[in-house]
Amino acid sequence: MKGAFLQRIMLGAVLVVAVIVLNFLLLQAAPGDVVDSMLAEGGGGDPKLAAQLRESYGLDQPIYIQLFKYLGRVLSGDLGFSFYYDETVAELIVNALPTTLMLTLSALVVAVVMGTLFGIYSAMNPRGLFSHFVTVFSLFGYATPVFWLGMIILLVFALHLPWFPAFGIRSIPEPDGLLNRTLDILQHLVLPVFTLAILYLASYSRISRASMLDVLGADYIRTARTKGMSEFVVIFKHALKNAALPVVTLAGLQLGQIFSGAVLVETVFSLPGVGPLLYESIVRRDYPVILGVLFGAATTTIVANIITDLLYKKMDPRIQSIT
Amino acid sequence: MSDKPSANVKPVFAIAEVAIQPEQRWRDTIRLFCANRAALFGLVAVAVFVFVGLFGPVIFPADPFDPVAAPLSAPGEYTLLGTDYLGRDVFLGIIHGTRPTLLIAAIATLVTVLIGITLGSVAGYFGGVIDNVLMRITEFFQVLPPLVFAMVIVAVFSSDMVVVVLAIAVTTWTTEARLTRAEFLKIREREFVTSSRAMGAGNLRIISRVILPNAMPPLIVAITLRVGITIIYEAALSFLGLTDPDVMTWGKMIGLSRDFFFDAWWTVTFPGVAILVVVLCIALIGDGLNDAFNPKLRGR
Cross-chain residue pair B152–A155, CB shorter than 8 Å: no
- A97 has pLDDT over 90: no
pLDDT score of A152:
93
pLDDT score of B103:
93
| Chain B touched by A257 (CB under 8 Å) | yes
Lowest mean pLDDT among A101-110, A191-200, B33-42, B78-87: B78-87
Lowest mean pLDDT among A20-34, A83-97, A108-122, A186-200: A20-34
| Chain B touched by A19 (CB under 8 Å) | yes
Q: What is the pLDDT of residues A226-277, one digit of tens each?
A: 888 887 888 887 778 777 788 887 887 777 788 888 889 999 988 888 989 9
A46 compared with A198, residue with greater pLDDT? A198
Residue of chain A whose alpha carbon sits nearest to that of B299: A135
Q: Look at residues B90, B74, B261 and name the one whose alpha carbon lies nearest to residue A151.
A: B261
- A320 has pLDDT over 60: no
Per-residue pLDDT band at A58 (split at 50, 70, 90): low
Alpha carbon distance A212, B186 (integer Å) = 25
Mean pLDDT by 10 residues, chain B (300 residues): 41 44 70 85 93 90 83 81 84 91 94 94 92 91 90 88 93 91 88 87 87 87 92 93 88 89 88 95 90 66
Please state the length of chain B: 300
pLDDT score of A42:
60
Please state the length of chain A: 323
Q: What is the pLDDT of residues B105-162, one digit of tens each?
A: 999 999 999 999 999 999 999 988 999 999 999 989 988 888 999 999 998 888 888 9
A5 compared with B196, residue with greater pLDDT? B196
Q: What is the ipTM of this complex?
A: 0.85
Per-residue pLDDT band at A148 (split at 50, 70, 90): very high
A67 compared with A40, residue with greater pLDDT? A67
Cα B87 → chain centroid: 34
pLDDT score of A35:
67
- Neighbouring CB atoms inside 10 A of A201's CB total 24
The whole-chain average pLDDT of chain A stands at 82
Cross-chain residue pair A297–B144, CB shorter than 8 Å: yes
Alpha carbon distance A247, A206 (integer Å) = 10
CB A312 within 8 A of CB A322: yes
pLDDT score of B296:
63
Q: What is the pLDDT of residues A175-187, one digit of tens each?
A: 777 888 888 888 8
pLDDT score of A170:
72
State the pTM of this model. Answer: 0.86
- Count of CB contacts below 8 A, A vs B? 137
Cross-chain residue pair B152–A26, CB shorter than 8 Å: yes
- A75 has pLDDT over 90: no
pLDDT score of B85:
81
| A15, A256, A282 ranked by CB distance to B155: nearest | A282
SS (H, E, C) A114-157: HHHHHHHHHHHCCCCHHHHHHHHHHHHHHHCCHHHHHHHHHHHH
pLDDT score of A5:
78
Lowest mean pLDDT among A13-27, A46-60, A298-312, B179-193: A46-60
pLDDT score of B13:
46
**Residue A174 per-residue DSSP state:** P
Lowest mean pLDDT among A128-137, A204-213, A231-240: A231-240
pLDDT score of A78:
78
pLDDT score of B11:
44
pLDDT score of A33:
65
Cross-chain residue pair B300–A148, CB shorter than 8 Å: no
Round the CA-based radius of gyration of chain A to a whole number and report it.
24
A164 compared with B119, residue with greater pLDDT? B119
| Chain A touched by B239 (CB under 8 Å) | yes
Burial state string for B102-134 with b = 16 or more CB within 10 A and e = fewer than 16: bbbbbbbbbbbbebbbebbbbbbbeeeeebeeb
pLDDT score of B49:
93
pLDDT score of A177:
77
